[in-house]
Amino acid sequence: MMPAPPLDARRMRVTDDDRWDLLGARCPACGHTVHPVRVACVRCGRATEVVTLRPVGTVVASTVVHTTRPDVALRPPFGVALVRLVDGPVLAAPVREGEDPAHGDRVALAAFDVGEGDERRRALQVTVAGS
């Protein structure tokens, strides 16, 4: 089966059904690294280059969402964690169902799919497993 295309190509590259890369942008001039990819550096304005980031980091904040808009792909309650990646950038992603990472915990990012049929897209979630 073909892998689902990424929900956001600025965040991840999907290479086959179980392989993917976490993407970021690095400024060749000042070294500032961000996620998701931006075409220009937010610090110095130069053109960035796309880099692969290690999908591991530390939880700095978390919540459990109980109310959301009806068009959101996840049904509450679901967790969201803010993760500081070991490569620097910070990103928020949903937490894998049944897990509840605490602040300061080392976590990893894993791929998971949202949507059905042609609408199926690959996204990222936070997990304590494999970290």
Positions that interact with another protein (CB under 8 A): 7-8, 10-11, 34, 36, 42, 60-69, 72-74, 80, 82, 84, 88-90, 92-94, 103, 114, 121, 123-124
Q: How many CA atoms lie within 13 A of 54 on its CB side?
A: 12
What span, in angstroms and rounded, lies between the C-alpha atoms of 14 and 7? Answer: 10
DSSP conformational letter for 36: S
Q: Which is nearer to another protein, 82 or 108 (CB)?
A: 82
Helices (H) and strands (E) in the chain, counts: 0, 9
Q: Which is nearer to another protein, 7 or 51 (CB)?
A: 7
C-beta of 122: minimal distance to another protein in Å?
11
DSSP conformational letter for 116: S
What span, in angstroms and rounded, lies between the C-alpha atoms of 100 and 63? Answer: 10
Q: Which is nearer to another protein, 17 or 100 (CB)?
A: 100
C-beta of 34: minimal distance to another protein in Å?
6
Q: Which is nearer to another protein, 16 or 119 (CB)?
A: 119
C-beta of 15: minimal distance to another protein in Å?
18
6 has which bridge partners?
122
